[in-house]
Chains A and B, each alone.
Chain A
Amino acid sequence: MSEDNSPSTLLSRRHFLWNSGGGLGAIALAWMLDRDNARAADAGTASSRKPHFQAKAKRVVQIFCAGGVSHLETFDYKPHLEKMHGKSMEGRGENLGFFGQPGNLMKSVYDFRQHGKSGAWVSSLLPKLAGCVDDLCFIHSMFAKSNNHTPAAFQMNTGFTLNGFPCMGAWLSYGLGTDNENLPAFVVLPDPRGMPAGGSINWTSGFLPANHQGVAFRTAVAEPISDLRTPEGISPEARSADMDLLTSMNRDFAAANPGDGAFAARLRSYELAARMQSSIPEATNFDSEPEHIKKLYGIDEPANKGFSRNCLMARRLLERGVRFVQIINGGSFGTPRINWDGHENMKENHDNQAATMDQPVAALIQDLKQRGMFDDTLFIWSTEFGRCPVTQGVNSPGRDHHPAAFTCFLAGAGVKAGHHHGSSDDIGYSIATDQVNIPDFHATILHLLGLDHKKLTFYHNGIDRRLTNVEGEIVKGILS
């Protein structure tokens, strides 16, 4: 809920307020705030809106692995690379790395083995996720525009490589609203180890109204969002009496200014705020979770560095009607590195990162499945780019950034299970078949949620902006 106070939106509420003579019953308010499906006109609202067409997916959870997960060390098995180990990559194309010190080709630092009925090749790095492959839909032909972390992360999250564009969660909040106004429509769970590069820019609403911005929940401290709790020293009784005084002021003011729904909306915003004060602590409290669930996620395992708590919290938030939960795995800078940016040593780096990610993500998939939520939840596992088939520097065990081929997977509502789409070439350097650009990826995600990426637009400085800019083709091959 919320208001765009442009006169055009004040209009639709005027009749009601006028006719009701300033009386603001709850039912009437619900009517007033439950807007029609005209998204652009009602850009400021948060209440649930119908999609463009019926779709299976009702909500989304996105894992974003910061730093660039190596496709060659995870899901993209390259036997030919083993044969080519130590040889030059000459003739295969320009080095796309960030640091420009290409060495020779290096085979995967992990062994691969086939898993599940679908026989998917997964490396020994991710034993738990390997057990989930029959539920996953891999895209091995992902292609990003930038070889530079932040622009590439921006592209994965917002469709553009620049600052200031709304991220996918903001677009979904704008497009679909929320099913539970007592919680934000779009929640971000940053890694407890640190913020990703670019910080809150990653979940900005850009030029969309501010209420579509991702709300970052802090999981390492007692208060998940700022200003949630009544300040110390103010008793519940005193706060309640203060709220009564405020309500009387606001009600008088709304009554004295009939025809302006914004004033009624402010009253309503305080009601919702009061409810959030209990709904957010309830959603973020694990006391009611049984032991076996906590164990499934491994929330007491130090190895996953608190990331498991975020995965469990994501499930609780999704259950309670949050439209989009983004879980970030990895921060920005740190020594040793706290993300997947294995420039120096792939094994050392990916071993550490996988220890945080593998079990909790696999647990989230299993948990959603066992609750029947996998059928109407879209699960996204993503990273900003892959890693180069050659080493970074001669005889180094590290790999540089590589945007020209990498792997992501989708799962859950509307996508094929145990499926592989597209492929990279024999050394994982370029796309061999069915290239999927980021706008294609986004168009497909919107489609799975019942939104036409060409119709989900917002006018800003001369352009009806889209998540997919002027590109985007739905990847039909992965739709179930």
Chain B
Amino acid sequence: MPLRTDGRPANVSALPAPAGVTVDFARDIKPIFADNCVKCHGAEKQKGGLRLDNKASAFQGGDEGKVLVAGKSAESPLVHLVAGLEEDKIMPPKGERLTAAQVGLLRAWIDQGAAWPDDGAPVAAVRSDHWSLQPLKAPAVPGNAPDAIDAFIRARLAKDGLALSPEADRATLIRRLSFDLIGLPPSPEEVDAFVNDTSPGAYASVVDRLLASPHYGERWGRHWLDVARYTESQGFEYDQLRDNAWHFRDYVIRSFNSDKPYNRFMQEQVAGDVIEPVTSEGVVATSLLVCGPWDQAGNAQSNATQRAITREDELEDMLGVVGQSFLGLTVNCARCHAHKYDPIPHEEYYRMKSVFEGVKHGERPIAGADEKKAHNERRAALEKEIAAAGERLSRIEAEGAKIAAAQIKPPAAPPGPAPFLSWNFTASGAAGELHGGAAIANGRLQLPKDGAFFQSPPLTKDIREKTLEAWVSLATNEQGGGAAISIQSGGGKVFDAIVFAERQPGKWMAGSDNSRRTADLDIPPEPGAPGTLIHMAVVYRADNSVVLYRNGEPLGKPYTPGSPLETFAAGDAHILLGLRHSGAAKGAWLKGEIRQTSLYDRALGDAEVAASYRAAGFAIPREAILAALTPEQRAEHEKAVAEKEKSQAALAALPPVSGAVSYVGTRNNPAPTRRLIRGEVTSPDEVVTPGGLSAIADLNPDFGLPADAPEAERRKKFAAWLSDPKNPLPARVMANRVWHLHFGQGIVSTPNDFGIAGAKPTHPELLDWLAAKFIESDWSIKSLHRLIVNSATYRQSSVSKVAATAIDAGNTLLWRYAPRRLEAEAIRDAMLAVSGQLNPQAGGPGFRAFDAIGFPANVYAIADKQGPEFNRRTVYRMNVNSGKDPLLDTFDCPDPSVKTPSRGVTTTPLQALGLMNNSFVQRQANHLAERAMKAAGNESVKAIQLVYRLALGRTLSAEEAARAAAAAKDRALKSVCWALLNSSEFVYLR
């Protein structure tokens, strides 16, 4: 059945009949297209991604697919649309409609095969002359004014016969600056200092002081977190906490405080985990991509189509935040079809999606490769030093042992513990079978090659806790996988063994079936030279813990494996020497010699293992060896011991690679991205390659990557494309954000939308001048602040003027500084600051002003928690989706899941109720009163002066003083404080 473009059945019976003539394209059809269609579907514009002015483009179709189906006019969407089959989509949308005769001609042409002489034109790219997509050009500064910003503003004001207002008074200015730059009120001392400092640089030095304050990043970082839709819970059904999301908040704050170049800031947030050198800072930065909401249940459900939709929603959110935050383009609007307003074809949404297709939600370690590499290099170097010192010691001691052996007979040691079974190859052989070239010679079991091993008869007793022990010498330390002694049952299905270097080169271990009772110990490689007789023991205790010994000393730390102790049953179990376990295919044979070996049916203690080592008498006591050394050898020995100990201490002190994880998302290499027709996961179309947007002038959108390029390459290329100096959008967009936040209104009043439907710039030349200066300063945001807040435009009085209002009531031309309501966070922080309760502790996990209830879903019960932890700045409040604070909420604190470039400002009765009655406000009012009374030595008049200066940053009039004194006398000073915290003057900046 023919379908409409919206997927519903098309009523083709309503179509005019095809013309009964033979149609010629040039004569009959081309004029219809030229007169009616190509104005919007041609070289100038490509609405819906469609062109009808050349063959290739026309047959390719538009964003919603093909429009011409040769031979089938009733199924051709072009015919449906020109015939008016779809009420909402009649083509052409304006002006005269096609006549029935013209539609009939089109139908006949299509039914006759839609012949279109080849015009050789390729499918054409998108072009746009929209202002924001054109290259930056630093414009000439109008007039001769020393301050360029003021020159631009004055020139525009002058056109309407307006002028800047005079400078605001100093107390007003410092309050404005302080809230604007650090989000906190100035202290009375700071106000006094500035008001009394008449030096020419006084203002600029306040600006510098504030920009250097660590509170600056807390203020401006919060603004960026609004844009980034930063949330600390998953949202949707479960809304579980993201305990480790805060690293990103701290990253943003640090970046602002350190004035990180903005191009670097951008690159890090899209690809910081893959741009060399990778740092943990860079890894954390990429949280931007995933710090929005995530549908945990939607990702876990069984229906594959619904899961795929959930995933597409995630990617749209990701493209939305990248496109809007950095480019000021609502790229996300092109998911289902070409962007309705902007020159973003449907295909380009999918090219950009391909860039981020490998990014998924979740936590992972944030240690950068740099950190890991440095750690591993340092560790390897120390291990090498230890091994080298160990080799020197072995060599010296071997020489000493030779001398000692000739000189002395080792003293008799007390007997060791009695084994359950023992094989001593110095005696007349041992009960058991030799296999694969194993032999007994020189008083030792000889294990010369793969395949050689010794097997005991079945054991006569069940063995559970136990000790394995062997005197062994290795033919080479460059071998791995063989066992000195193994106890096995089930023909090798279960075993415990003293194994050399199976999992870590050169290191001993307690081997076991499937490594179930094995741990990779943090121990040095075997230091003894090949041929050295080594005493090895492994004790398996009844409590399931396992400990290794070498030459009577514990080797590494005891550990308790996850798998329990096995019972080796009498009649089935036996001992193997040389072979790790029966049935092993390769790499399971030890090459060397075994002097003596024992099985104990109990776990020996440390002292018993040491006694057994000494009792065998194979070792020449250390004292004897050392005594035999020459003075030179002894000096060298001492030096090697010192070096070894030093390196061992350094190794022990080496800090581990940071184990911290954060919500930075996981990565995988995805399948090639396909364009989805109408954005539907069930309608994949052609494969697309990763790329940028083609409409930005002078910028190549093609990354030269194949569709299956590694995901890291895609994001690296995107980061480079984004921050290419030829890309005019990021500098324009960020300069505008900074301006917007200083004046409460941007030069472009839609900071996330620099597209065609977004607002036009009120001062386009000024915006470009700022953007150019921004780049020139190496993308320094603090430089932008200095340019702006030092201007006369910023320093204007807020006083309204009748004449100016009549001309420009919206103050879009900036004839004054418009008063601004403080944001929710600034109001709360200011209350804490003036009450003296603000806890300046920066960074780390946020405070939880709620009780999280329930599993698997979290419900957040807002609680008025008290204590210094909860008196930190509001940016450190854990920001969860369904646990919004009612007081902050009424002051327009945004829903954390919403990308918020510009906050709303409402005034409501609920807001008033919050300030009137909220327990936090009451408490701060009381603290403010106590603070002032204490500072004023309980002198009420002085205390009243102080609370005014603290709360409003100014002195009070005689009338105000009288009113306040009466209230304080009638009730208490806290009444005055409460009124001040509720006052318009407190919550507004002028």
A242 within 8 Å of B (CB atoms): yes
Contact B812 A2 (CB under 8 A): no
B811 within 8 Å of A (CB atoms): yes
Which A residues are in CB contact (< 8 Å) with B301?
Answer: 98-100, 147-148
A12, A199, A209, A246: the one contacting B859 at CB < 8 Å is A199
Contact B984 A263 (CB under 8 A): yes
Interface string of B327-345 (1 = CB under 8 A from A): 0011001000000011000
Stretch at the interface among B39-47, B114-122, B487-495, B973-981: B973-981
Contact B967 A241 (CB under 8 A): yes
Q: Please count the residue pairs between chain A and chain B whose beta carbons lie under 8 angstroms apart in the complex.
A: 299
- Of A164, A207, A254, A263, which is in contact with the most chain B CB atoms at under 10 Å from its CB? A164
- Bound Cα distance from A332 to B990, whole angstroms: 46
- Bound Cα distance from A120 to B989, whole angstroms: 63
- Bound Cα distance from A227 to B909, whole angstroms: 11
- Bound Cα distance from A462 to B754, whole angstroms: 8
Q: Which of A76-123 contact B (CB under 8 A)?
A: 94-101
- Bound Cα distance from A132 to B907, whole angstroms: 42
Q: Which size bracket describes the interface of A in this complex?
A: 35 or more
| Shortest CB distance A199–B (Å) | 3
B56 within 8 Å of A (CB atoms): no
Which B residues are in CB contact (< 8 Å) with A99?
Answer: 301-302
Contact A227 B917 (CB under 8 A): yes
Contact B330 A461 (CB under 8 A): yes
B985 within 8 Å of A (CB atoms): yes
B313 within 8 Å of A (CB atoms): yes
Which B residues are in CB contact (< 8 Å) with A10?
Answer: 809-811, 818
Which B residues are in CB contact (< 8 Å) with A206?
Answer: 895, 898
Residue on A with the closest CB to B755? A462
Q: Which of B726-756 contact A (CB under 8 A)?
A: 744-745, 750, 752-753, 755
Contact B914 A147 (CB under 8 A): no
Contact B913 A213 (CB under 8 A): no
B236, B239, B805: the one contacting A14 at CB < 8 Å is B805
Stretch at the interface among B441-449, B772-780, B880-888: B880-888
Which B residues are in CB contact (< 8 Å) with A12?
Answer: 809
Contact B975 A204 (CB under 8 A): no
B970 within 8 Å of A (CB atoms): yes
- Bound Cα distance from A461 to B906, whole angstroms: 19
B237 within 8 Å of A (CB atoms): yes
Interface string of A198-213 (1 = CB under 8 A from B): 1111001111011101
Which A residues are in CB contact (< 8 Å) with B984?
Answer: 249-250, 253-254, 262-263, 266-267
A148, A213, A249, A462: the one contacting B298 at CB < 8 Å is A148
Q: A149-B297, A161-B313, A227-B918 are in contact. Are A461 and B809 (CB under 8 A)?
A: no
Contact B859 A332 (CB under 8 A): yes
Q: A98-B302, A201-B881 are in contact. Are A162 and B313 (CB under 8 A)?
A: yes
Which A residues are in CB contact (< 8 Å) with B967?
Answer: 241-242, 245
| Shortest CB distance B672–A (Å) | 26
A286 within 8 Å of B (CB atoms): no
Q: Which of B934-990 contact A (CB under 8 A)?
A: 960, 963-964, 967, 970-971, 975-976, 978-980, 982-985, 987-988, 990
A184 within 8 Å of B (CB atoms): yes
Q: A7-B811, A206-B898, A249-B985 are in contact. Are A269 and B908 (CB under 8 A)?
A: yes
Which A residues are in CB contact (< 8 Å) with B670?
Answer: none
Contact A269 B911 (CB under 8 A): yes
A303 within 8 Å of B (CB atoms): no
Contact A227 B887 (CB under 8 A): yes
Q: A7-B818, A241-B971 are in contact. Are A44 and B330 (CB under 8 A)?
A: no
Which A residues are in CB contact (< 8 Å) with B884?
Answer: 200
B199 within 8 Å of A (CB atoms): no
Contact B800 A258 (CB under 8 A): yes
Which B residues are in CB contact (< 8 Å) with A464?
Answer: 757
| Shortest CB distance A123–B (Å) | 27
Contact B983 A461 (CB under 8 A): no
Which B residues are in CB contact (< 8 Å) with A195?
Answer: 859, 882
Contact A98 B303 (CB under 8 A): yes
Which A residues are in CB contact (< 8 Å) with B61?
Answer: none
- Bound Cα distance from A273 to B908, whole angstroms: 8
- Bound Cα distance from A333 to B237, whole angstroms: 10
Contact B750 A265 (CB under 8 A): no
A310 within 8 Å of B (CB atoms): no
Q: A46-B908, A246-B983 are in contact. Are A231 and B917 (CB under 8 A)?
A: yes
- Bound Cα distance from A263 to B799, whole angstroms: 13
- Bound Cα distance from A16 to B688, whole angstroms: 59
Which A residues are in CB contact (< 8 Å) with B802?
Answer: 18, 259
A134 within 8 Å of B (CB atoms): no
Which B residues are in CB contact (< 8 Å) with A433?
Answer: none
A194 within 8 Å of B (CB atoms): yes
A38 within 8 Å of B (CB atoms): no
| Shortest CB distance A470–B (Å) | 8
Contact B983 A250 (CB under 8 A): yes
A479 within 8 Å of B (CB atoms): no
- Bound Cα distance from A252 to B886, whole angstroms: 29
- Of A194, A210, A228, which is in contact with the most chain B CB atoms at under 10 Å from its CB? A210
B890 within 8 Å of A (CB atoms): yes
A480 within 8 Å of B (CB atoms): no
B800, B854, B982: the one contacting A260 at CB < 8 Å is B800
Residue on A with the closest CB to B316? A162
Which A residues are in CB contact (< 8 Å) with B330?
Answer: 461-463
Contact A201 B235 (CB under 8 A): yes
A147, A151, A253: the one contacting B985 at CB < 8 Å is A253
A150 within 8 Å of B (CB atoms): yes
| Shortest CB distance B26–A (Å) | 38
- Bound Cα distance from A198 to B296, whole angstroms: 12
Residue on B with the closest CB to A454? B88
B295 within 8 Å of A (CB atoms): yes
Contact B975 A97 (CB under 8 A): no
Q: A164-B897, A215-B910 are in contact. Are A199 and B882 (CB under 8 A)?
A: yes
B572 within 8 Å of A (CB atoms): no
- Bound Cα distance from A277 to B912, whole angstroms: 11
30 contacts between A and B (CB under 8 A): A6-B905, A11-B810, A12-B809, A147-B301, A148-B295, A148-B297, A148-B310, A162-B317, A197-B237, A201-B235, A207-B895, A207-B900, A211-B906, A227-B917, A241-B967, A245-B963, A245-B975, A246-B978, A250-B983, A253-B983, A260-B800, A262-B907, A262-B984, A265-B907, A275-B909, A459-B750, A461-B899, A461-B901, A462-B750, A463-B757
**Chain A positions near chain B (C-beta within 8 angstroms):** 1-8, 10-12, 14-15, 18, 43-44, 46, 94-101, 145-151, 161-164, 181, 184, 194-195, 197-201, 204-207, 209-211, 213, 215, 225-231, 238, 241-242, 245-246, 248-250, 252-254, 257-260, 262-263, 265-267, 269-270, 272-273, 275-277, 332-333, 459, 461-464
**Chain B positions near chain A (C-beta within 8 angstroms):** 229, 235-239, 293, 295, 297-298, 301-303, 305-306, 309-310, 313, 317, 320, 324, 329-330, 333, 341-342, 744-745, 750, 752-753, 755, 757-758, 798-802, 805, 809-812, 818-821, 854-857, 859-860, 862, 881-884, 886-887, 889-893, 895, 897-901, 904-914, 916-919, 922, 960, 963-964, 967, 970-971, 975-976, 978-980, 982-985, 987-988, 990
The 5 closest A-B pairs by CB, nearest first: A259-B800, A100-B302, A462-B330, A11-B809, A199-B882
User: What would 8 more interface pairs be, CB under 8 Å, given A5-B819, A199-B883?
Assistant: A3-B907, A97-B303, A148-B310, A149-B297, A199-B859, A225-B910, A259-B800, A269-B912
